[in-house]
Amino acid sequence: MPRTRLAAVLAAATLIALTGCGANAGGSNNANNSGTDFPKKGKTIELIVSFSSGGAVDTAARLVQPILEKELGTNVEVVNKPGAGGQIGYTQLTSAKPDGYTIGATGSPSVVVSPLDPARGAKYTRSSFQPLGRQVIDPTVIAVQPDSPYKTLKELLDAAKAKPKSMTASTTGLQTGEHFALAQLQETTGAEFAPVHFSEGASQATTAFLGKHVDILVANVSDVTDLNKQGKVRVLGVMTAERAPSLPDVPTFKEAGYDIEAGTVRGYSAPAGLPDAVAKKLEAALKKAIEDPTVVKKMEDLGLQTSYLSGADYAQFWAGQEDDFKKVLPLVTKKD
Amino acid sequence: MDTLNELIGGFAAALTWQNLIFAFLGCLLGTIIGVLPGIGPVAGVALLIPLTMNLDATGAIIMLCAIFYGTAYGGTITSVLLNTPGEAASAITTIDGYAMTKIGKAGAALTIAAVGSFVGGTIATLGLVAAAKPLGELGLLVGPPEFFALMVVGISLLVALAGKSMVKALISGALGLLISMVGIDPVAGAPRFTFGSDNLLDGVSFVAVIVGVFGLSEILSYRKDTSASAVHAPGLRSLLPTGTEWRRSAPSMARGTGIGFGLGLIPGMTGSVSSLLAYGAEKKFSKHRNQLGKGAVEGVAGPETANNAHANAALIPLFTLGIPASPTIAVLMGAFLQQGLTPGPTLFTEHSEIAWAIIASLFIGNLLLLLLNVPLVGLWTSILRVPAPILTALILLFMVIGAYTINFNVFDVFVMIGFGLLGLALRHLDIPLAPMVLTLVLGPLMERSLRESLEISQGDFGIFLNRPISMVLIAIGVLIILSPLLKLRKPQALNEDPET
């Protein structure tokens, strides 16, 4: 029965054809050096988020994604590559072809610090990235369980001073913003917590905190804004010069008498070596997306203050941060 | 009420055109895989993962789940028509299914099997709906130590139930853990076992490994002659069972659902145990037990219902506890992880919409399977007329393309081939493959939860025994591993089950 046999071969061939269809993303085989025809229609741009879905980095990326699509006229796909406090995603980003079809969300201190500690064996340095634009500064906060006996920052820090390491505190990974904040806290106040590194990101850290598996939640303003409204956390202090608009009742560390400022700074970068024309297009699209009023508003609702910097300014800021973090790095390198 | 609302929300998400098409394609491809002898469900699901890699998470998982239970049905068709089971769980159906074909009732057998699969699958999915909320709410109770202990239980169950020798199962499990260690250290960031190669920084590609170990090695070790002589697709008229046949199958379907659902919940049990037990139950309880073996409809209805109830029930421990109950589910879990979803109690707190959309699509998928299979029986049988060498070549081609398209990297093709050869060697040494794939999937999760736990306790291993939930779980794990010493016997059927 030749006809049925043909039908069957066709069915099998469809299987193979389908693989090809599913595989529209990620291909980077026809990099164009001038980049004038970037982006090609129908070619997907991958936006790598180095933390798990649901965290602030991920949310911000997903907010700018539709506007980027509109501005660039092609698909932009957010891809989560969590692990090792961002290092896995950053490695992937910097080892991609600099053709504009792979960009990534970069957050400091993780992206700035991970190449500084030789023990991490990072494959990239600051010069492996081409910064495209800064989006937000998200200050660090310290929070306790709603039924915790500690009502103020002073009570908590005094207790931690009296019994060092008696309380556990979450971070989003070794040498991430939260880890630095804990180190700075210990340096200036003498209060010592036992850090627990949730290397996949803030959503894992908050889940563990809500399940009462860690005592202290060290996070960013955006992570606790919603939880604070629901009464699921008691935020004791925010590490900025001024109070955070989304947490008006929470005192700053300065007000409480501790001179500490810390936070996470997030933006977008490409692997270094982007053709100029491509970089310009991406930068312009990102500026539009980051400053888009609806995006800014939505970010605000999440407790995120938009603070745009152009690619060049973001690069300069990055270099400055690198100098700062080099000084405090010994505080967060593993001694054991 | 809450559950109902969320389920309705799930239906709304699953009923988009896009997701319906994914569910349909999944059922179709799954059935084809089930029909093809020589490719079991594990290899089949593994083979098709690359297809879904670039879809959004919901669509990808919907399609994979559809593939998964499509295979559970597809195997039946060849059992009934050719006396050759497409997969182990349908083996028992050959007895009465083929006997029915010989007396000209093939259509009735296939229809009863399709309806039975639908009934079993739908009821098991209802069980998932009922269990999801209460178990999901336990999510916050499960901290890193409890999560680690859950993984221990999952691994010890599969190790204890797989293959003939526990030592060999442990060897296989340890291999999987070792492979999962390759790549950047998830906490400290240092590259491990990468031998300086950039290709290994992100670890060994899970999909390439699975396609190699299960798919390629299965093709390489497949020698059976498939040339099927004279298969006649049943005409449409003979598709419909008679009223008596319907009446006779109803109690068998009920028994099959109970058995499949119960056993599907137990990690380590495979679908074949369910279908064998269901056949046994028919032999004991059916009113027409004397006709079994001579083409009794009960001999098809019972095992086939059990098979699909099992396949769907096995998703319950995955969704609610994060424990993969069988190698196929472990592969499915790997696909979840690729999509950035960690199955388990936190799935319903962190990704509730996706979880409910998938559950809703299970209902839809079961219905699609029914609508798809009855009219298309003719096409399925014609696939078997493709000469085996051509079919094998097509499948090999598909594997190479699949491995390449994961990252558009030729390295992954070599990984796939290398692991195919490893899989072949392990098969020859009689080392079961299932524990390896399970630990490969669970390894990174175990490592993470172990390290987080020890940071919470500041290095004290007592944390696993101080907390009641994790203590009980660890105790269960230890008991399972010690079970051979305690002379607890596992079901005979598992020893001969190729899926384990």
Residue with the bigger pLDDT between A14 and B289: it is: B289
Say what the pLDDT of residue B500 is: 45
Q: Enter the tokens of residue B241.
A: 């069972």
Residue with the bigger pLDDT between A17 and A115: it is: A115
Extract long-range pairs of B104-107: CB within 8 Å, 24+ residues apart. B104/B238, B105/B238, B105/B241, B105/B295, B106/B80, B106/B81, B106/B234, B106/B238, B107/B234, B107/B235, B107/B236, B107/B237, B107/B238, B107/B239, B107/B240, B107/B377
A63-88 pLDDT per residue, tens: 888 888 888 888 888 888 877 778 88
B385-438 pLDDT per residue, tens: 777 778 778 778 877 887 777 667 788 899 999 999 999 999 889 888 878 877
Q: State what percent of residues in chain A have pLDDT above 90.
A: 14
Q: Is B459 on the interface with A (CB under 8 A)?
A: no
Q: Is B21 on the interface with A (CB under 8 A)?
A: no
Q: State what percent of residues in chain B have pLDDT above 90.
A: 6
Q: How far is CA B453 from the centre of its chain?
A: 30
Q: Is A2 on the interface with B (CB under 8 A)?
A: no
Instruction: Phi first, then psi: give them for residue A134, nearest 5 degrees.
Output: -100, 140
Using pLDDT thresholds of 50, 70 and 90, give the confidence band for residue B232. Answer: low
B residues 474..493 contacting A (CB < 8 A):
none
Using pLDDT thresholds of 50, 70 and 90, give the confidence band for residue B497. Answer: low
Nearest-Cα residue of chain B relative to residue A213:
B143
Q: How far apart are CA A227 and CA A210, in angstroms?
A: 9
| A139-263 CATH fold | D-Maltodextrin-Binding Protein; domain 2 (3.40.190)
Q: Provide CB contacts within 8 A for A181, sequence distance 6+.
A: A140, A142, A218, A239, A260, A262
The answer to whether B456 contacts A214, with C-beta atoms less than 8 Å apart, is yes
SS3 of chain A: CHHHHHHHHHHHHHHHHHHHHHCCCCCCCCCCCCCCCCCCCCCCEEEEECCCCCCHHHHHHHHHHHHHHHHHCCCEEEEECCCHHHHHHHHHHHCCCCCCCEEEEEEECHHHHCCCCHHHCCCCCHHHEEEEEEEEEEEEEEEECCCCCCCCHHHHHHHHHHCCCCCEEEECCCCCHHHHHHHHHHHHHCCCCEEEECCCCHHHHHHHHHCCCCCEEEEEHHHHHHHHHCCCCEEEEECCCCCCCCCCCCCECCCCCCCCCCEEEEEEEEECCCCHHHHHHHHHHHHHHHHCHHHHHHHHHCCCEEEEEEHHHHHHHHHHHHHHHHHHHHHHCCCC
**Mean pLDDT of the residues in chain B:** 79
Q: Is B398 on the interface with A (CB under 8 A)?
A: yes
The answer to whether A208 contacts B346, with C-beta atoms less than 8 Å apart, is no
Q: Is A8 on the interface with B (CB under 8 A)?
A: yes
SS3 of B431-475: CCCHHHHHHHHHHHHHHHHHHHHHHHCCCCCCHHHHCHHHHHHHH
Nearest-Cα residue of chain A relative to residue B53:
A22
For chain A, the domains span 45-137+264-332, 139-263
The answer to whether B187 contacts A16, with C-beta atoms less than 8 Å apart, is no
A residues 188..227 contacting B (CB < 8 A):
194-200, 203, 207-208, 210-214
Residue B347 included in any domain: yes
Say what the pLDDT of residue A54 is: 67
Indicate if the pLDDT at residue A257 is higher than 50: yes
* Mean pLDDT (whole number) for B328-354: 76
Q: Is A87 on the interface with B (CB under 8 A)?
A: yes
Residue in B191, B350, B455 nearest the CB of A203: B350
pTM, two decimal places: 0.72
Q: How far apart are CA B385 and CA B36, in angstroms?
A: 11
- Taking contacts as CB-CB distances below 8 angstroms, the residues of chain A near B458 are 165, 194
State how beta strands A76-80 and A45-49 pair. Answer: parallel
Q: Is A114 on the interface with B (CB under 8 A)?
A: yes
The answer to whether A19 contacts B401, with C-beta atoms less than 8 Å apart, is yes
Q: How far apart are CA A257 and CA B403, in angstroms?
A: 58
Q: Is B16 on the interface with A (CB under 8 A)?
A: no
Instruction: Phi first, then psi: give them for residue A99, nearest 5 degrees.
Output: -115, 5
Q: How does A293-304 read in b/e, with b if 16+ C-beta sit within 10 Å?
A: eebbeebeebbb
Indicate if the pLDDT at residue B236 is higher than 60: no
Q: Is B379 on the interface with A (CB under 8 A)?
A: yes
Residue B500 included in any domain: no
Q: How far apart are CA B66 and CA B48, in angstroms?
A: 11
Indicate if the pLDDT at residue A310 is higher than 70: yes
Tally the domains of chain B: 1
- Taking contacts as CB-CB distances below 8 angstroms, the residues of chain A near B379 are 4, 7-8, 11
Q: Is A10 on the interface with B (CB under 8 A)?
A: no
Q: What CATH architecture does domain A45-137+264-332 belong to? A: 3-Layer(aba) Sandwich (3.40)
- Of A166, A207, A333, A334, which to mutate for an interface test with B (greatest number of B Cβ within 10 Å)? A207
Say what the pLDDT of residue B65 is: 83
Domain that holds residue B329: 2-495
CA max distance for chain A: 88
Q: Enter the tokens of residue B457.
A: 């306790």
Q: Is the ipTM of this complex over 0.90?
A: no
Indicate if the pLDDT at residue A32 is higher than 50: no
B77-120 pLDDT per residue, tens: 877 877 766 666 777 887 888 888 777 777 788 888 888 888 88
The answer to whether B451 contacts A197, with C-beta atoms less than 8 Å apart, is yes
How many CB pairs (< 8 A) connect A and B?
163
Q: Is A99 on the interface with B (CB under 8 A)?
A: no
- Taking contacts as CB-CB distances below 8 angstroms, the residues of chain B near A8 are 379, 382-386
